[in-house]
Amino acid sequence: GVMGGAATEALPEGPPESSVFVSRVLLPAALALPSPASARCAERQYVLAVISEYLHSQQQHSLPIDEVCCTLLLMLLAEQGSYFQLHQLVQYHLMPDSVELAHR
């Protein structure tokens, strides 16, 4: 359509694709976290909670789990030494068990 003399592109309807959401929202939020990694950092806890809930929502709605999102969660938890939490995510099938995961 034309607004104010400038042509505008129609926005896609519905929610963004998972890869767009992860690359434009979750990844920048994770990369902006303060260093060194601390499990007590409120911002970090919030980003981890958002990523976990996003993956949980994908699982609950039988959507394919976003691998980049899983890798991001894995990286953030490993950075802060939260190995028990990582174990729980695999145990409760929120994060797919794989050879790649084992090597990380």
Taking only the tens place, the pLDDT of each residue in 81-100 is 998 988 888 787 777 666 56
Judge if pTM exceeds 0.85. no
Q: How far is CA 60 from CA 3, 80, 103, in A?
A: 40, 27, 27
Rounded to 5°, the CA angle 7-11-13 comes to 150
For the chain, the straight-line distance linking the first and the last C-alpha, in angstroms and rounded, comes to 49
Domain residue ranges in the chain: 17-103
Task: Take residue 93 and report the two structure tokens written for it.
Answer: 């099938």
Taking only the tens place, the pLDDT of each residue in 23-49 is 999 999 999 999 888 989 999 999 999
Q: How far apart are CA 2 and CA 9, in angstroms?
A: 9
